[in-house]
Amino acid sequence: MSTALIILAAGQGTRMKSDRPKVLHEVAGAPLLVHAMKAGAALSPDRTVIVAGHGADEVASAAQAHDDSVAIALQSEQKGTAHAVAQARDALAGFDGDALVLYGDTPFISPETLARMAEARKSHDVVVLGFEAADPGRYGRLVMEGGRLDRIVEFKDATEAEKAITFCNSGVIAAAAPRLFDLIDAVGNDNASGEYYLTDIIGLARDRSLSATAIACDEAETLGVNSRVDLSAAEAAFQARARTAALDDGVTLVAPDTVHFAHDTVIGRDAVIEQNVVFGPGVTVESGAQIRAFSHLEGCHVARGAVIGPYARLRPGAELAEDTRIGNFVEVKNAVIDEGAKVNHLSYIGDAHLGAGTNIGAGTITCNYDGVMKHHTEIGRNVFIGSNTMLVAPVTIGDDAMTGSGSVITRDVPEGALAVARADQAVKPGMARKLFEILKFKKAKRQKEAG
């Protein structure tokens, strides 16, 4: 059966106290909306429709940056969840497969749960996702009769007996798309909020002798984000799951609670991650690599046997081959570093290629930016770059070459050559004492004048 996703992302989220659309607030380096899209992607949907409202242009941009095939439907007025789903009708014109309604602010529905919903759809016309709530609070209640879902009652409209029910509605619903829109057409707004509730389709389905059921998931999967407190809780929940998954996959986390993962971090078994390491989006660390303490990585690839840090920063485009070394207070950006090369201390390597076995001395900088454009530095194999060398790009250093410490290299260095580019040292006897005396006199004079 073909499937379409309808992801509701129109709300303003006033409790977030933000000018930013609620679904664009991030967990693990990705908008909440992207988490919902990734969850639904487990069903390999044929179509995805994002229903946007508040900040629609920003929401559409974020959604299409993740998947440029998604359609955007606009809900210009927020009149309830049924009204929101109805806005997806045109985008799904002629589609007769299943439609699954998800929420852009509910990021943690698991692929396994969605697969169970899809399986339940084979024997029921409408399937709802529910959960047993530790504190049912103001959630809608699922009224079951055996294995059949009789109705969903919003908290505002529930009787005392219905409020005692702990099986609650997540809002996630699956049905055949034509039937879903047909049921929505019959939804009214005669309720305490004057809104068109998507939940009312269950009673309408019952009245038409259609079969409805609810499957249960863990309450943690249904965590919705409506405030900064919720956002913090969602981040904590994601990190806890990511750390457990990494440990279960054979990754060593020296101090798990201090490691911060992104939504797409990939780490191979037997990698060692020390304390206070932060992974931004787009990082792959191969098996057996070591990321030492207080390092920050984003948009990079680290091959097996590499050692990164401590206190290193890998920025987007950093590609590190096997057995490389990136050490203390080293920053690497948009650079390929070949097997066995080392950048151990206090250096910046940007827009560059380092050949195998090359050693970069402390304080080296690839001067890659001229104020308008970026330029490339090419360093060959088995090169020794002396400490405090400035490599003014574009420049090429040949294989087996060397630069003297403190050099400013502005021209290419041939293979096997030594390049030294610094002024001659001048020594002036006694001048240091005289200069200190002059400076101390000036300082005392200023202090006296200051009163």
User: Which residues are known catalytic residues?
Assistant: 345
The strand ranges marked E within 229-323 are: 252-253, 266-267, 272-273, 278-279, 284-285, 290-291, 296-297, 301-302, 307-308, 313-314, 319-320
Closest CA to 36 of 100, 113, 107: 107
Up-side HSE of residue 281: CA atoms within 13 Å toward CB? 10
Listed in sequence order, the DSSP H helices in 52-200 are: 56-66, 81-86, 111-120, 160-163, 177-185
Closest CA to 312 of 287, 29, 285: 285
Cα distance between residue 297 and residue 326, in whole Å = 12
384-385, strands of its sheet edge to edge? 252-253, 272-273, 290-291, 307-308, 325-328, 342-345, 359-360, 384-385, 402-403, 418-419
DSSP assigned state of 301 = E
Cα distance between residue 297 and residue 311, in whole Å = 11
